[in-house]
Amino acid sequence: MHATKQQHDFEPKIVSFVCTWCTYAGADLAGTSRMQYPANVRVIKFPCTGRIDPVFILKAFQKGADGVLVSGCHPGDCHYMAGNFHARRRFAAFRKLLEFVGVDLARLEFSWVSAAEGGKWVEVVTGLTESIRAMGPMTEFKELKTEEHWSGQLETAELKEAYDSIP
Amino acid sequence: MNNMAQKIEATTPIDTSSYASATEAIRAEAARLLTEGSVTAVIGYRSGKRAGTAMPAIVTSPEKAAELIFSPSCVNNLALYLTKAKKDIRKTGKVAIVAKGCDIKALAGLMGESQLKREEVVILAVACAGVKGSGAATGEPLTTANIARKCRECTVHTPQGADSVAGSLSTLPELAPLEAEELARLEALTPAERWSFWKKHFSRCVRCLACRQVCPFCYCEQCMCDRNRPQAVETTPRPAGNMAWHIVRAMHLSGRCASCAECERACPMDIPLNLLNRKMAQELKELYGHEAGLKPKEKGPLAEYREDDDQSFIK
């Protein structure tokens, strides 16, 4: 029997970008081994971590993710020889950029999980879910989405009235 | 804010007497190259319609070489005219280009990215004490108050590795590195404060994309930010799309940017874009020892890797 699921006030949405050769297989192994891990993580499969563009991470945050996990093969194990080496440099730079823009880096995690590391996958996902649950929802990008451009702000009573009178 | 800081400093004129001899040297060299037919065009500056202004000019006959000038108003980075985005100029054959130190960095970057071959271009370098920043009146001379922010920290006043160098500089004043100070100030803030700083700036962006059009490194024929299936970045000038655009722009330029600060100059909304570029340049120097220089590099820092790169941030 499964243990009864604990009820939480906040269930974070976590998007994980994984490489098909290592981490996806690792997550699969966790599943077939019947290990339990939080269902907060949405797995998106890519051919390689080298295919994961920083724009995808940005897009995930914009679409309402509270956390993002990027995971792939250990260095040296890449199916395409060097994809994860290139990704490593790119993400190192991207992290610094996001930090400078003011994104909390605790919401973005990177890991190497091989096809044999089902246990590590469970550990990484559980850890990230719990830490993001403690941090609460990611509001920065969501707020941006609802905000209007400065020229679109209904700052004056006349503008507001004109806007409201639109049938 | 930036202008305020500049006004506090005492205004002293900067010696630009060498610009007259630089102008002469550029004219002579351009006329010589065009007469002997070793180049088909010279990309340089000429006077604008209003006195004290300058604009890019492409000169194709020796008689017109006398129109070329160099002055503190020659702000543009002409390397832009040699990228793939401006195909028509390159089609004519070998060209000569007037370049300040910062522009030569951009040329070196383009050569490193195989956009340009060194033997296809004659570089007429200029010994440059600095050019005027935004907001400087057309008539006024170059001073420590109206000099462009990038010129305050210039390390390539007299560039190396060009085909000729026009003019020679006397001693230059020591200027406070305003941009580095601003960067340090931002770095010391909390992430939430930085977020509100950038949110304030980016929400003013009108998405005219002048920063992209003026950048020598934004030469992609199809920008990913213009694509809509799938749409990576919202194209309307609203805060969400603006934030994404500026993050993507900074990311795509990291490790490539030559810090010519043209994006910041061209920005009609005065968004301090070069701070982002500076920050990324600084990080890539710390991480991988990369610095934009006057010599072309075969591969940029994000196009190569080492097996022992830092991975302390990866679990």
Which chain A positions have a beta carbon within 8 Å of B186's beta carbon? 100
Q: Determine the pLDDT at residue A17.
A: 97
First to last CA, chain B: 41
Substitution target from B251, B253, B299 for chain A, most A beta carbons within 10 A = B251
CA–CA min distance B230, chain A (Å)? 11
Q: Determine the pLDDT at residue B5.
A: 47
Instruction: Give the pLDDT confidence of A93-113 residue by residue, as tens digits.
Output: 999 999 999 999 999 999 999
Which ipTM value was assigned to this complex? 0.90
Which chain B positions have a beta carbon within 8 Å of A58's beta carbon? 244, 247-248
| Helices B178-188, B273-288: inter-axial angle, 10-degree rounding | 80
Cβ atoms within 10 A of the Cβ of B221, count?
7
Q: Determine the pLDDT at residue B4.
A: 47
- B93 to each of A157, B65, B89, B124, B264, how far by Cα in Å? 61, 18, 8, 17, 31
Domain boundaries, chain B: 18-166, 178-288
Residue B116 is given by DSSP the state: S
Instruction: Give the pLDDT confidence of A50-92 residue by residue, as tens digits.
Output: 999 999 999 999 999 999 999 999 999 999 999 999 999 999 9
Residues of A with CB under 8 A from a CB of B: 53-55, 58-59, 62, 75-76, 82, 85-86, 88-104, 109-112, 124, 140-141, 144-145, 147-150, 152
The tens-digit pLDDT sequence of chain B (315 residues) is 444 444 555 688 888 888 999 999 999 999 999 999 999 999 999 999 888 899 999 999 999 999 999 999 999 999 999 987 777 777 778 999 999 999 999 999 999 998 888 998 999 999 999 999 887 888 788 888 889 999 999 989 988 888 889 888 877 888 889 999 999 999 999 999 999 999 989 988 999 999 999 999 999 988 999 988 888 898 988 888 999 999 999 999 999 999 999 999 999 989 999 999 999 999 999 999 998 888 888 888 999 999 999 999 998
Phi, psi of B17 (to 5 degrees): -65, -25
Q: Are residues A112 and B314, on separate chains, in Cβ contact within 8 Å? A: yes
Cβ neighbours of residue B20 closer than 8 Å, sequence gap 6 or more: none
CA–CA min distance B209, chain A (Å)? 16
- B182 to each of A104, B2, B157, B195, B243, how far by Cα in Å? 21, 9, 23, 15, 20
Q: Report strand pairing: B41-47 vs B54-59.
A: antiparallel
Reported as a pLDDT band with limits 50, 70 and 90, residue A4 is confident
Q: Are residues B255 and A93, on separate chains, in Cβ contact within 8 Å? A: yes
Q: Determine the pLDDT at residue B58.
A: 92
Residue B78 is given by DSSP the state: G
Instruction: Tell me how far apart the alpha carbons of residues A42 and B159 are, in angstroms, rounded to a whole number.
Output: 53
Q: Are residues B238 and A149, on separate chains, in Cβ contact within 8 Å? A: yes
Chain A with chain B: Cβ pairs closer than 8 A = 124
Instruction: Tell me how far apart the alpha carbons of residues B213 and B304 are, in angstroms, rounded to a whole number.
Output: 27
The owner of tokens 């949110």 is B199
State the DSSP string of B21-57.
HHHHHHHHHHHHHHHTTS-SEEEEEEE-SSTT-EEEE
Coil, helix or strand at residue B213: helix
**Helices (H) then strands (E): counts for chain A:** 6, 4
Run of H or E residues at A68 = strand A67-72
The three-point CA angle B81-B87-B92 to 5° equals: 90
Which chain A positions have a beta carbon within 8 Å of B284's beta carbon? 93
Q: Determine the pLDDT at residue B6.
A: 47
Which chain A positions have a beta carbon within 8 Å of B198's beta carbon? 101-102
Closest residue, chain B, to A101 (C-alpha)? B195
Per-chain mean pLDDT for chain A: 91
Phi, psi of A88 (to 5 degrees): -60, -45
Phi, psi of A159 (to 5 degrees): -60, -45
Reported as a pLDDT band with limits 50, 70 and 90, residue A151 is low
Q: Which two tokens stand for residue A164?
A: 């409201």
Instruction: Give the pLDDT confidence of B10-41 residue by residue, as tens digits.
Output: 688 888 888 999 999 999 999 999 999 999 99
Q: What structural domains and CATH numbers belong to chain A?
A: 14-137 (3.40.50)
Substitution target from A150, A153, A155 for chain B, most B beta carbons within 10 A = A150
Run of H or E residues at B181 = helix B178-188
Q: Are residues A102 and B279, on separate chains, in Cβ contact within 8 Å? A: no
CA neighbor of B96 nearest in space, from B79, B75, B114: B79
The owner of tokens 């202004």 is B53
The answer to whether residues B43 and B95 touch, using CB atoms and an 8 Å cutoff, is yes
Q: Determine the pLDDT at residue B1.
A: 44
The answer to whether residues B120 and B94 touch, using CB atoms and an 8 Å cutoff, is yes
Cβ neighbours of residue A102 closer than 8 Å, sequence gap 6 or more: A140, B191, B192, B193, B194, B195, B196, B197, B198, B199
- pLDDT: which is higher, A4 or B26: B26
Phi, psi of A17 (to 5 degrees): -100, 115
CA neighbor of B241 nearest in space, from A57, A58, A117, A38: A58
pLDDT of A154 higher than 80: no
DSSP3 helix / strand / coil % (chain B, rounded to 5) = 40, 10, 50
Which chain B positions have a beta carbon within 8 Å of A152's beta carbon? 238
Q: Record the pTM.
A: 0.90
Instruction: Tell me how far apart the alpha carbons of residues A52 and A29 are, in angstroms, rounded to a whole number.
Output: 22
